[in-house]
Amino acid sequence: MPSDIPEIHGQCAAGLEPVRAAFEDNFAQGQELGARFSLVKDGALIVDLWAGHADRGRAAPFDARTLTPIFSTTKAIAALMVARLVDQGRLAYDQPVAEVWPDFAAAGKGAITVEQALSHQAGLSGFVEAVEPALWFDWDAVCARLAAMAPLWPPGTASGYHPVTYGYLAGEIFRRVDGRTLGTALREDLAQPFDLDLWIGLPDAEHGRCADLQRPPAFPDFGEINLPTKAAFLEPWSSPGGRGQAEWRRAEIPSANGHATAPALARLMGALAAGGWLDGEMILSPALIAEMARERIAGQDLVLPFEMSWGAGVMRNGPLKPWGPGEETFGHSGWGGSCAFADPETGLAGAYVMNKQSAHLLGDPRARRLIAAAYAAL
């Protein structure tokens, strides 16, 4: 074995040795710094592999307690939290956002529904007018700005990925109905009761186990640049900044700054692949899982350079198939390569996290290789 391949830790069920080989191969090709990959089948953890380093200086091991920033993979968690409100009869996907958030009706947005906001159809992909990047740390200020904003395209006519604003839309809808912030509810209702090491809003006491990121070698290819893309990704104020890493981790931004381990994500998505059951309790009804994942809009996205299929806050697997062959598979990917997915047809779910980021916007080749190996072995 080449000396530059780190020791692989964890477990891999019999018959899934090709997954371990693919995981090892990612390191052998120099594509990883630290990484973890977990699979759950019918509620049972069948793969949980980790290796490498948690820091760029390669002094600290990437271990079972290492937390990794998951960026937009956080959106799948936010979608689940909103779905639970729908399941409880406290919210409806087809109701106007303005029914729970009256100010949102400004500038012609009164008819935008919850499901349109969650499926990136609201026309609010980012701010066109300049703001301080630190504004993103002021929840109420961002929500007030979104409520007053005119859509950048006619709502409901197309999707245009909302990389950061999605979290404030989903989070404010959640807060208006539930009274708690989405990150607080995640911790109290799911993370603590089910021992899931995942967070939206990371307490200071947990910061010391976060992996350092090695940034992507190049900027992603966004294709032809338009106003929605520019506002979403390419302005100096398109993403939070100016407050430092600790403040970023502390903040609750349900679109972008989740922190998690791969098994925590895989177990949560595993519930969505297995009829809603997590450790003997139903966290979401089968009907609501199907309703959350149901296609709301498909076609060329206005912000991402892909044809996309969106559910109510989750990416659907087709037509790009980043997570295996399943037609009903859904999940989310995050900046740099993380992902989490659920396949209700097979009961399989998984999550990949890492700290060496790639420039791929969707379908990172490292995760694709692992997921393909899993499906081939199963």
Indicate which residues carry an active-site annotation. 72
Q: Whole-angstrom Cα distance, residue 221 to residue 79?
A: 26
Kindly compute the dihedral angle of the four CA atoms of residues 304, 357, 374, 312, in this order, to the nearest 10 degrees: -40
- Cα(249)–Cα(339) distance, integer angstroms: 19
Give the DSSP letter of residue 7. Answer: P
Query: Which residue is listed with tokens 């968690």?
Result: 77
**Angle, CA of 165, 371 and 312, to the nearest 5°:** 30
Question: What is the distance between the alpha carbons of residues 58 and 40, in angstroms, rounded to a whole number?
Answer: 29
Cis peptide before 319 (omega within 30 of 0): yes
Question: What span, in angstroms and rounded, lies between the C-alpha atoms of 73 and 159?
Answer: 18
Task: Give the separation between CA 123 and CA 301, rounded to whole angstroms.
Answer: 12
How far is residue 78's CA from residue 73's CA, in Å, rounded to a whole number? 9
**Which residue type is seen at 114?**
V
Measured N-to-C along each axis, helices 286-293 and 74-87 cross at an angle, to the nearest 10 degrees, of 130
Write out the DSSP string of 171-203.
HHHHHHHHSS-HHHHHIIIIITTTT--EEES--
